[in-house]
Amino acid sequence: MAETKADGANMANVTGRLRSGECGEGHSIFSWLIVLALLGAWMSVGVVWFDLVDYSNIVGTLGGIYDADGDGDFDVDDAKVLMDMYGCVFCMTDEDSTPEVTPESEASPEPMPEPEHTAESVSPPETTSKTSEPEESAPEATAETEAKKKKPKLFNKFDKTVKAEINAAEKLRKKGKAEEALRAFEALVQKYPQSPRSRYGKAQAEDDMAEKLRSNEMLLKAVNTYKEAAELPDAPADIIKASLKRRADRQQFLGRTRGSLATLERLVQIFPEDTALKNDLGVAHLLVGDNNGAKRVYEEVLAVAPNDGFAKVHYGFILKSENKIAESIPYLRDGLQSGAPGTDDGRFYFHLGDALQRMGDANAYHWYETGHQHGHFASVWQRSLYNVQGLRAQPWWTPKETGFTDLVRMLERNWMTIRDEALAVLDTSRGLFMPEDENLRETGDWGQFTLWQQGRKVTSACQSVPKTCAFMERYPEATSCKRGQIKFSVMQPGTHVWPHTGPTNCRLRMHLGLIIPRTGCRIRCTNQTRAWEEGKVLIFDDSFEHEVWQDADTFRLIFIVDVWHPELSQSQRHSLSPI
């Protein structure tokens, strides 16, 4: 089964996943931006091929800015998404899929060759403002198109005198003869060290070789050579722009987001009227966690180009991340309606719909439906972003349907022991229950105490509830679930959790009732509303829209256990990256 990302757009520092809540309740897509900054389900070729992007560091930088994967928080998976959406030209759709090799092309989802493996993909957004790399051999433009886009001028006066030699080397590169092309351009650079076009050709050839050899060392050479080409005396403006733009792109790809930001800042200084470059600069600010810097850039763009759809949709995302819900709506809506490159992305549809829902506007479902029609969501209800195609999809499940009846029986048989341990922790003043901080609540308070996260045991937490953890150790369908959590959730009276969806269809969520008031507590998943019972397990797919109300007089306490979707094979479970 090929895993597809029903999501699509990265919003640097902007998207949401749902990781903390209950009904999925904490896995919200809403905190996003905290927007990025935009795969929890997958890695870019920089990791798989070059093994050099440190997403954890990116997370530390971007953490309060973007929630790119739609779960309501910002983490490693968001960093992966953003790096792919905005920086990766070689990016693969998953750890083992095959990337596009042409420098200008967008990464397009391809399934992994092994049928058992799961290829996770992001609906490829139109990255940034789509300024393509100039090529001197572009087809002749018609008189009409010539007025719109001039043929790039890559040869200065000197390079025209050696154009035949440069074109011969370029012909080798375009035929895919990367090694021969690199040798030819290296010879030209040695022969004509002040030739910008030769230096630019050498950088392109090194870029091609990096992809062919899967070599980070070669890619770094290309990054440096692009800079050299742009800094040579008498370099044509188009060479400068093409070189620095590609350099910024490759720096982003390598995870060198601050270096990419510096390169784009230099580009904007040289070409201050180019709004496409400014849009790219806004994304670069988001990638380093500078939300305010990005906001300033998009305000500048909109001041001179008020109908720029790319700037509008990103600016709307930023406003939404600031919880300026009503203000964000027209920017998100107008940006999507513009149809501009880079706007047709699932995250934008999601956040516009979410903003409208929070304002009580029924038009939210129109935008969810549009996102579904554009291939970003599995359905209007199921709006998760990281999905394996072909998995059974239904909001509510029975224990028998999951195949995990032993786990359910164990939970229901030992529910009082689990409850007592939870109450002992809840009654202490150690502050082990952490408040939900992903902007999922309209009102109220709720907290969670996590025992397993992304398939990893939280040893310190288990020391407080040893019996509960001992029970769970015997059930790898839960403890190995890299796309879920095992945790306690306590919700206080007067709490309402906004409608939201989880990040992936690769898991199911179990709720074991521990302390359930007689009335007032309910959970809706799609159009079906149910109530918890003490000692009983509810099972639902939190990739579907769900919502929670706690209108009782006392707190509600449940135990949340995420399990792998039963139709995922063992190899798929192993190959999927954590969320």
Contact call for residues 381 and 545 (beta carbons, < 8 A): yes
| pLDDT band (50, 70, 90) for residue 372 | very high
Whole-number pLDDT of residue 148: 54
Whole-number pLDDT of residue 539: 98
Q: What is the pLDDT of residues 59-82, one digit of tens each?
A: 333 333 344 444 443 343 444 444
Residues 6+ apart with CB under 8 A from 376: 6, 7, 8, 123, 345, 346, 349, 350
Report how far residue 27's alpha carbon sits from residue 485's, in angstroms, rounded to the nearest whole number: 10
Q: What is the pLDDT of residues 328-341, one digit of tens each?
A: 999 999 999 999 99
Whole-number pLDDT of residue 540: 98
Whole-number pLDDT of residue 212: 96
* pLDDT at residue 118 tops 80: no
* pLDDT at residue 500 tops 50: yes
Whole-number pLDDT of residue 151: 85
Amino acid at site 520: G
Whole-number pLDDT of residue 439: 80
Amino acid at site 289: G
CA distances from 494 to 72, 176, 232, 551 (A): 21, 64, 66, 5
* pLDDT at residue 22 tops 60: no
Closest CA to 351 of 380, 329, 378: 329
| pLDDT band (50, 70, 90) for residue 124 | very low
Whole-number pLDDT of residue 130: 41
Residue 276 C-alpha from the chain's centroid: 22
CA distances from 97 to 49, 115, 254 (A): 11, 12, 18
Q: Which residue has the higher pLDDT, 327 or 77?
A: 327
| pLDDT band (50, 70, 90) for residue 2 | low
* pLDDT at residue 289 tops 70: yes
Q: Which residue has the higher pLDDT, 261 or 136?
A: 261
Share above pLDDT 90 across residues of the chain, in percent, rounded to a whole number: 71
- Other beta carbons within 10 angstroms of residue 119's beta carbon come to 28
Q: β-strands 71-71, 17-18: how paired? A: parallel
* pLDDT at residue 426 tops 80: yes
| pLDDT band (50, 70, 90) for residue 150 | confident
Lowest mean pLDDT among 108-117, 224-233, 234-243, 318-327: 108-117
Mean of the per-residue pLDDT values of the chain: 81
Q: Which residue has the higher pLDDT, 77 or 551?
A: 551
Domains of the chain by start residue, with CATH: 132-273 (1.25.40.10), 396-575 (2.60.120.330)
